[in-house]
Chain A
Amino acid sequence: MESNDTIQKIPIHIMGKKYQVPMGLTIMKALEYSGYHLTRGCGCRGGVCGACVTIYCNKDDYRWQIGLACQTVVNENILLVQLPYVPAHKANYDIRRIEPSEENVVSLYPELLRCMGCNTCTRSCPMGLEVMNYISATITGDWQKVKKLSMDCIMCGMCAARCPAELAPFNIAMLVRRIVACKAHQTPQYLAQRLDDIRKGMYSAELAKLKGMGKMELLECFREFQATKGEAV
């Protein structure tokens, strides 16, 4: 393992302050290497929770980039800041009582109609989602499309932070996805039967018997179940 002196380091700028960090580190590790004990701006460290979303500029590039600190590797002279919280409008509703119509969605999120079609939201998404397209689909009521396009959303809030019309697309998509699921929710017959059987105690006697079995007996049962896997796998 190389000593600190021999590792090649590059300069980075954390909220305007310059630090030297080893090459190859993620933004998150670069912050920590520089001495930050993260409280906000750190979550799963695996790219799915949105806690560490970071705004950064590359050297000599005017464009704002948005990425996750745990996934993005630092460049030389990167300028960065984290945005661990975005105040965004979230409507209040009872999903079981809500009338699943476009009018209702718009009444809960009237700012939907302010959308200018500028595509800033799409460009701000660290997951590369087609945010503007799912907002259009929300307005036109193509909710399967909303579900498909927004499914991988990690709720980081950057779309809301940068939208000039002050929409919170991630919260709007959340509502639509739940509506889609609740509308599609029907208990398949086989499951309804299973739930009923369990309520009636159909399995109680067998389970009581199993609870009294030793490991060797259980192993025999297991082998039998494994052998009869058949179509069920």
Chain B
Amino acid sequence: MSYPHVMQASIRMVDQTRDKRLKDEFLELTLADKDKLLREYHPDFNQGVKRRLRVGCNRGDLVPKELADFLEAPSRLAINSVKLDRIEYRTDVLIIGTGGAGLSAAITAREAGADVLLTTKLRMGDSNTIMAEGGIGAATGKEDSPVIHYVDTLIGGRGTNVGDLVEVLVTEAPFIVEWLSSLGVNFDRLPDGSYFTHRPGGHSRRRSHSVKDLTGLEIMRVLGDEIRNLGIEVLEFSPAVELLMDHKGQCGGAILRNLDTQMPVVVQAKVTILATGGMGRLHPLGFPTSNHYGATADGLVVGYRTGTRLIYAESVQFHPTGTAWPEQVLGLLVSEALRAQGAQVVNAQGEMFAASLETRDALAAAIIRECGGRQQGVQTPTGMVGVWIDTPLIDIIHGPGTFKRRFIGIFARFQEYGINPVIEPILVYPTQHYQNGGIAINAHGESSVPNLYAAGEVSGGVHGQNRLGSNSLLDIFVFGRRAGKHAAEKAGRVSCGNLSLEHVRRFETELRDAGIATDTRSPLILPDYRFEKAMTRVQHV
């Protein structure tokens, strides 16, 4: 089956230029040139795609436009018609979101003796966590230490991480591996019983603990099984559409929407934990995303209205090489190791336009420039655009059989769709991958609003402005558990006030005073890909 007809001409050009390119070298950018490239084309540095918030406690901060649109919109609820005295659920700890952070918070809160209610917009377990392949970073090895892990994380975050949070992250990491293993997660082990580990980019030691290439799936299966065994109640297809406050200024729970009946559900909770994950389905800057269907920043939206402070909400991580074809695997990441083994990045004409091992941010910017302003990208039938990674070079350089030996996962993935990366190039484009910032938390997961916690991708500060690989899977369990434990204890001392949506009224007044008039209603809940929106588009920067 292979590539569609419209892409074959470009592939022929890649074949034709290959021999010449084998001897060519594309020089890496000088610091000055890289700076210029980033400023002009990298999404993070592009002021034009961001907007300053005009309302709320982060007023004046820059955030991606798509996020601003939803942060600065009125509620999708007709707040005057919601009957807050019809309380359908009362609980100690309400946890919104059922990815790794939400489930680990629930298990821990229950262990601490609290009454727990989990709610989620799709099924329990539907999350970004379930797709995680790489592994959990933890300084378990003899040559390793939490001190080294700390430094790696800070440098990866460009020095902007909140030190107290990183200290917690790295010292609790080894306990997380132990905890998950004791629950029944089948971590890969060596014959002597020690954990198999590998070293992700930016780390100075081997410390990522994995389960084949399905670490997230394996962990989420186990945690989901545990939740069911513990009998913790889960409301599925019930996203939170607003948080509730009370007359004492505490967070008092949430209003959920039953997506099957469209009816509101009022939940009164002594303590609430937001574990709502990322924002990839807002498609910041129009990029494809590696995120799951429900990643629409709902937690940021409903949290922001309560007055909770955000940190580094501007910072979005783009991976330079997400799969651009075929559609089925759009946005899934393609390993950097391909380039490390000699595969060059080339445009539709089969020409190099960047050094293969340019740093991730510069390579992402270069690809965006090539497909955008320079119009040298490869067009696909679905509307997606991309550049080639010339994978056939790998066997040519290192000998036949190399590709299948070192990249069997990638080989199998593309074989599924009739593409043989040993003899055909593969198509890539930068992909939105992770929300680096979010709701500011302290070491217990508390936000700046009383009785409102946050854990996982929705929170900010742990990773600074750039997250390292294997630190997200770690983050969700460390802070999920800490938030769960602290919330359970806190709940014992909380007396609930009268529920109110006054904070939403105040926020909407602030919107009007700032002259913001929009048809958008937030949170988004689910992205809309109907009709022509089903066809992939890339809006070039």
Contacts and interface: CB of A to CB of B under 8 A. Distances in A.
Interface stretch (B21-29, B185-193, B474-482, B489-497): B185-193
B142 A190 contact: yes
B131 A48 contact: yes
A48 B332 CA distance: 12
B186 A190 contact: no
B186 A177 contact: yes
Contacts of B167: 207, 211
B143 A44 contact: no
A49 to B, nearest CB: 5
A35 B530 CA distance: 5
Interface string B212-243: 10100110011001101101000001000000
Interface stretch (B148-156, B419-427, B499-507): B148-156
Contacts of A179: 184
A147 to B, nearest CB: 6
Interface residues of A, number: 79
A151 interface: yes
Contacts of B123: 43, 51
A4 interface: yes
B328 interface: yes
B140 A225 contact: no
A181 B184 contact: yes
B455 to A, nearest CB: 20
Interface in B172-191: 174-175, 177-178, 181-187, 189
Nearest to B225: A174
A15 interface: no
Given A46-B332, A147-B186, A211 B163 contact: yes
A203 interface: yes
Interface string A150-164: 011111000000000
Contacts of A195: 174-175, 178
A186 B193 contact: yes
B312 to A, nearest CB: 16
A17 B451 CA distance: 49
B33 interface: no
Contacts of B199: 229, 232-233
A93 B229 contact: yes
Nearest to B174: A194
Nearest to B194: A188
Contacts of B263: none
A1 B184 contact: no
A221 B151 CA distance: 7
A108 B454 CA distance: 37
B205 interface: yes
Contacts of B327: 24-26, 29, 73
Interface in A176-233: 177-182, 184-188, 190-191, 194-195, 198, 203, 206-207, 210-211, 214-215, 218-219, 221-222, 225-226, 228-233
A70 B328 contact: yes
A225 B148 contact: yes
Which of the four size classes fits the interface of chain B? 35 or more
B381 A43 contact: no
Contacts of B329: 46-47
B193 A233 contact: no
Contacts of B91: none
B184 A188 contact: no
B484 interface: no
Contacts of B259: 39
A33 B534 contact: yes
Contact of A184 (B143, B189, B194): B189
A224 to B, nearest CB: 9
A32 B533 contact: yes
A218 B159 contact: yes
B179 to A, nearest CB: 11
B373 interface: no
A40 B150 CA distance: 41
A45 B237 CA distance: 17
B534 A25 contact: yes
Interface in B68-94: none
A81 to B, nearest CB: 18
Given A51-B122, A191-B195, A46 B131 contact: yes
A37 B526 contact: yes
A45 B330 CA distance: 9
B147 interface: yes
B195 A43 contact: no
A201 B208 CA distance: 23
Contacts of A49: 125-126, 130-131, 217, 292
Contacts of B159: 214-215, 218
A152 B214 contact: yes
A222 B153 CA distance: 10
B381 A207 contact: no
B530 A37 contact: yes
B145 interface: yes
B204 interface: yes
Interface string B200-214: 000011100000101
B147 A233 contact: no
B528 interface: yes
A182 B214 contact: no
A43 B382 contact: no
Contacts of B147: 203, 206-207, 210
Contacts of A182: 182-184
A204 to B, nearest CB: 8
Contact of B528 (A37, A48, A177, A218): A37
B146 interface: yes
Contact of A229 (B204, B293, B537): B204
Which of B4, B144, B184, B222 gathers the greatest number of chain A CB atoms within 10 Å?
A: B184
A148 B142 CA distance: 30
Given A186-B193, A203-B147, 19 more contacts: A1-B383, A37-B528, A39-B526, A42-B122, A43-B126, A48-B214, A177-B186, A178-B222, A180-B186, A181-B222, A184-B186, A191-B174, A191-B195, A203-B171, A210-B154, A210-B163, A214-B159, A218-B159, A225-B152
10 contacts: A43-B130, A44-B293, A46-B329, A175-B225, A207-B147, A210-B150, A211-B164, A214-B159, A219-B155, A226-B204
Interface of B: 4, 122-123, 125-126, 130-131, 139-148, 150-152, 154-155, 158-159, 163-164, 167, 170-171, 174-175, 177-178, 181-187, 189, 193-195, 199, 204-206, 212, 214, 217-218, 221-222, 225-226, 228-229, 231, 237, 259-260, 290, 292-293, 326-329, 331-332, 379, 381-383, 416, 526, 528-535, 537
